[in-house]
Amino acid sequence: MSNLDRAREILSEGGYTCVICSDRDTQTSRQRGVAPLLKWLDEGINLSEYSAADKVVGKGAAYLYILLEIKELYADVISRPAYDTLKKYSIPVTYTTLTDNVRNRDNTEFCPIETVVMDIDNPKDALTAIRRKIEDMKK
């Protein structure tokens, strides 16, 4: 079984929001949104040998996966902007559902993280915008 297949299986059976797998390691998260991706970025873990499976991937999460240098990604749901961004950076992507945009948790508007990076075209600027938006949302 490939790392991506293993990550997908763990995601679907374990009630996780995000799973990353390499030949030597598997990490899981039940945190929502981009929180697990920011945690792994802050920890400085090299994920270049990891495959990832995620419940929902918007453009903000796509930029974080690019910064994490993951090998490949599966998403239950992915937005078109996220898909296009990952393809631009040559990250193989598979998915179950492709949507125009990711919605917020109560489905009243677009996801605030995807919205804040919509007009950004590089990962480092996206990270800055995401961190700023999360701080604003905490206030």
User: CATH number of the domain that 58 lies in?
Assistant: 3.40.140.30
Q: In this predicted structure, what is the pLDDT of residue 24? A: 94
Q: In this predicted structure, what is the pLDDT of residue 109? A: 81
The phi and psi torsions of 51 (rounded to 5 degrees) equal: -105, 145
- Residue 48 neighbours by CB under 8 Å, 6+ apart: 69, 70, 71
Q: In this predicted structure, what is the pLDDT of residue 69? A: 97
pLDDT 10s digit of each residue in the chain, 139 long? 999 999 999 999 989 999 999 999 999 999 988 999 999 999 998 899 999 999 999 999 999 999 999 999 999 999 999 999 999 999 999 999 999 988 878 888 888 899 999 999 999 999 999 999 999 988 8
At position 34, the amino acid (one-letter code) is: V
At position 104, the amino acid (one-letter code) is: N
What 3-state class would DSSP assign to 89?
coil
Q: In this predicted structure, what is the pLDDT of residue 107? A: 80
Domain of 128, in residue numbers = 3-138
- Residue 33 backbone class (left: φ over 0; alpha: ψ -120 to 50; beta: rest): left
Kind of pairing between the strands at 72-79 and 51-57:
parallel
Contact 73, 96 (CB under 8 A): no
How many structural domains does the chain have?
A: 1
Q: For the full predicted model, state whether its pTM sits above 0.85.
A: yes
What 3-state class would DSSP assign to 129?
helix
